[in-house]
Structure 1
């Protein structure tokens, strides 16, 4: 994305440094960031209630969770380019309107198909809410020190929203029906509509290039079929038609990358990845959010459907990790100052791996403190690494390329969450179905437990077998996350180089 130019009145304000109005503007900008990240995770505790109400299949259940994330990931950079042309504040408010309307539709969806469609619309709206934030911060805060503080606040809002989503959702679900997890978006968007035009300045690109329409089509034609194939294979087994769809997705992704190398105005600036620190940071965002998304979803089901906690208790059990993520997002710069950038990155990834490894100790009757301790350890790691990702991504490229870098970083965050639900969720489903011990399971744990309840006393064995099988699936997904995080930590040890934590850009990207 091209460098944005502020209006003349904003240039005069910024010339003397960030004023109070800019900091209030930052507070407004964190609202959509908080909302979009929270809407990824707010459904984790609501899924059992949605399953009871709408009876989705296993594939539909995963689509409800992550069609939102995949559309956001696929459209983030595109919507950033739209914002360059029509104005970032304008596209922000237009996306907020679509997001709000889709949230209301989702809240009152009568079946799984309509809920999936509403979540897809929320994804389109969410894609307009995210890409302007970091690049707007770069323009609103020209002073490096102010900009570093602003980025820390932005990261805390993103990471904190993802961690607090299940907690907020659980508290609301304790008192209301499942649709309330969507309706909470409405008052937040109302504040954005009222305060945004007054506090957030408008920015447009001074000159614009053509849309990479082909890139948009190829990226979506690659991501969605491939994920559909993974989900379907996990829930229904491998068939020739499903395998063909998966192969088609791989071919389209290869065509997308080939097109990006030739395009004059590519959707994805591959040249940025020649910078090792940039590539490493983006990979951390992708893998870290994948592990966090998968862990949050599976443990949410575990606490309610396996251990039998009510939704409020499950929400409160997630509070220590949420606090750890938010606190260490804000305090990450102190960690870097104490031990250096590379050690901070590697250490944070290893902490996340240890937290996921601890989930292997969870059983159908393990004490709750095991869950609390290891999710909190993981939360410390996630909080540090996500804050460092934003700082490194913005700081490892020239100022004029920070917009494109931010778009790629945000896409990695969103795509990582969606991949965690798709890949780790599908792996857990596959193991669940294969570990039936001779029993006939439904598509999901919730459906199987409902069937066992209808059987009366004769369903006790089925329910126990299903809970054990789900724990086996959660263990398999956790182990996969641990291995991935451990490999990433080894790679980071060799790739990352320490640099001063002052936000100074002294790395460049060579064409």
Structure 2
């Protein structure tokens, strides 16, 4: 009888632990969704933002990608800080900072304050991914359940990227206020802060490396100065000041790389890139986000400002691509069982190249069908990438270096999201500056110019579409080229 009672109590306790674990995972998914969603939700809102607070061409690009640069630059550092001081404490502080930044962004009245608030959001967001993943892993001691939980974590992160523009469109349709795409974060953050201390537990590591502050400074400053130089060149042409920023940025990045090879606890373990499989997988994650972010942003502007679709209609047109990305993320494990990791990784490059290549056939009058088909075809590639890259990267390295490989995979995604708009967006901006009517630096600024003539509107639209084609052509060529390299480099059988 006593044994029976003990068994019942034991099962009851075990069930309670399982429930707590799944509730903890559900709690973490809220901020994870916000972090990824905020990397893309502005795509569809930018025409409204541009009309409301009139940023310059380079300010508009900073508004879009300062968030991704900050998140990408700080992910590894905050992973080390969480190991030392506690993941739950860090993620709670980060969520609070994210919420404050979001609220400030919603009520910004000028480009400078919006950029500053987006930077603050990036600092908060950078705490959430590595800490959230560590907490989820600790919630599920059983390896099979832990794999399921991490898979759900990764799918949620990918889904956030996909649904960001769609949700942004719905919010703008309902509220007719661009600040709503930021203020929507506040209730989710408040709910997380209220529930997290109950459903989550503190996680620390007894093995952590020293945080090299100089490396952190060099990587952050190098990336920002280099991209700032590119943006200034695209918006205003080459200047002595702009070139100086670029040179200093490149020098900081080179110094950072050399330092990682010399110090005992590097922020980025560059030795991992000696493995071809690891390198190709990281490139897939990085480049897929480069193309996805640039295509998402410019397609949204094209549909609204060139073809004249409403925000709500634009959101609906982007919905099929979002559904395909989310569905592919879920189905990728089953797809890979049939075709293998090698074919899956190569397919990422080729599908995205084909998808964005279709955008080269759009024009100032028609292109909706091409846009939808493009998002569907490329969406399959994006979905496979979001689900497969981290797994391939981690599998390609020794077990003791899996954590470093996972951190690099996450960082490559965030930097890709930011670099896409910075680099390809700057190419499009440069083309618009050279071939547009010369009234302003961006399409939306030009269309908002008082008493603009009909031929000025036509010329502005044609210049934007030309820049759009150049940027997407570059993206397609790069993906195709690296895809062909992957065909040659990747072994027939990738490690499981």
Q: What is the TM-score of this pair, normalised by structure 1?
A: 0.91
Deviation per CA, 1:31-54, whole angstroms, max 9, x where unpaired? 222111110111111111111110
1:484 equivalent in alignment to 2:483:
no
Question: Against the structure 1 CA distance between its residues 302 and 222, is the aligned structure 2 distance closer, same or farther, given a 3 Å change threshold?
Answer: same
Distance 2:195 2:279 in 1: 36
Contact 1:433 1:441 in 2 (8 A): no
Distance 1:16 1:211 in 2: 39
Distance 2:21 2:396 in 1: 24
Distance 1:202 1:399 in 2: 24
Distance 2:408 2:15 in 1: 30
1:9 alignment partner in structure 2:
none
Distance 1:382 1:402 in 2: 23
Deviation per CA, 1:168-199, whole angstroms, max 9, x where unpaired? 00111112211010011112112322332222
1:455 equivalent in alignment to 2:451:
yes
Question: Against the structure 1 CA distance between its residues 493 and 134, is the aligned structure 2 distance closer, same or farther, given a 3 Å change threshold?
Answer: farther
Distance 1:445 1:471 in 2: 10
2:61 alignment partner in structure 1:
62
Deviation per CA, 1:212-243, whole angstroms, max 9, x where unpaired? 11101111121111000000000000112211
- Correspondence for 1:475 among 469, 472, 482: 469
Give the C-alpha shift of residue 493 in structure 1: 1.6
1:508 alignment partner in structure 2:
none
Contact 2:106 2:178 in 1 (8 A): yes
1:103 alignment partner in structure 2:
102
Question: Against the structure 1 CA distance between its residues 311 and 16, is the aligned structure 2 distance closer, same or farther, given a 3 Å change threshold?
Answer: closer
1:365-404 matches, within 5 Å, as 365-404=365-404
Deviation per CA, 1:22-80, whole angstroms, max 9, x where unpaired? 23322222222211111011111111111111010001000100111111111111111
SS in 2 for 1:19: helix
Contact 1:226 1:249 in 2 (8 A): yes
Distance 1:141 1:349 in 2: 34
Unaligned runs of 5+ in 1: 1-12, 505-511
RMSD: 2.0
Contact 1:232 1:242 in 2 (8 A): yes
Give the C-alpha shift of residue 369 in structure 1: 1.7
Give the C-alpha shift of residue 149 in structure 1: 2.4
Give the C-alpha shift of residue 401 in structure 1: 3.2
1:51-450 matches, within 5 Å, as 51-176=50-175, 177-436=177-436, 439-450=437-448
Give the C-alpha shift of residue 16 in structure 1: 11
2:5 alignment partner in structure 1:
none
Deviation per CA, 1:459-510, whole angstroms, max 9, x where unpaired? 1110011011101111011011101111121122233335578xx5xxxxxx
1:20 alignment partner in structure 2:
19
Distance 2:367 2:272 in 1: 47
Distance 1:478 1:85 in 2: 43
Contact 2:278 2:396 in 1 (8 A): yes
Question: What is the number of residues matched between the two proteins?
Answer: 484
Give the C-alpha shift of residue 19 in structure 1: 2.6
- Which range is displaced more, 185-194 or 297-306? 185-194
2:9 alignment partner in structure 1:
none
Contact 2:91 2:132 in 1 (8 A): no
Distance 1:190 1:327 in 2: 29
Give the C-alpha shift of residue 336 in structure 1: 0.8
SS in 2 for 1:203: coil
More helix by share: 2
Distance 2:488 2:259 in 1: 31
Question: Against the structure 1 CA distance between its residues 309 and 266, is the aligned structure 2 distance closer, same or farther, given a 3 Å change threshold?
Answer: same
SS in 1 for 2:416: helix
Contact 1:166 1:315 in 2 (8 A): yes
Distance 2:157 2:205 in 1: 26
Contact 1:35 1:185 in 2 (8 A): yes
Give the C-alpha shift of residue 154 in structure 1: 1.9
Distance 2:71 2:138 in 1: 24
Question: Against the structure 1 CA distance between its residues 323 and 132, is the aligned structure 2 distance closer, same or farther, given a 3 Å change threshold?
Answer: same
Distance 2:272 2:18 in 1: 32
Give the C-alpha shift of residue 403 in structure 1: 2.6
Deviation per CA, 1:201-220, whole angstroms, max 9, x where unpaired? 32111144322111011111
Distance 1:375 1:352 in 2: 9
Give the C-alpha shift of residue 399 in structure 1: 4.1
Question: Against the structure 1 CA distance between its residues 258 and 68, is the aligned structure 2 distance closer, same or farther, given a 3 Å change threshold?
Answer: same
SS in 2 for 1:41: coil
Contact 1:134 1:403 in 2 (8 A): no
1:43 alignment partner in structure 2:
42
Question: Against the structure 1 CA distance between its residues 88 and 334, is the aligned structure 2 distance closer, same or farther, given a 3 Å change threshold?
Answer: same
Give the C-alpha shift of residue 256 in structure 1: 0.4
SS in 1 for 2:414: helix
Contact 2:24 2:136 in 1 (8 A): no
1:509 alignment partner in structure 2:
none
Q: What is the TM-score of this pair, normalised by structure 2?
A: 0.93
Distance 2:470 2:189 in 1: 39
1:29 alignment partner in structure 2:
28
Deviation per CA, 1:412-450, whole angstroms, max 9, x where unpaired? 1100000001001000011111123xx323111011111
Distance 2:187 2:349 in 1: 36
Distance 1:32 1:67 in 2: 19
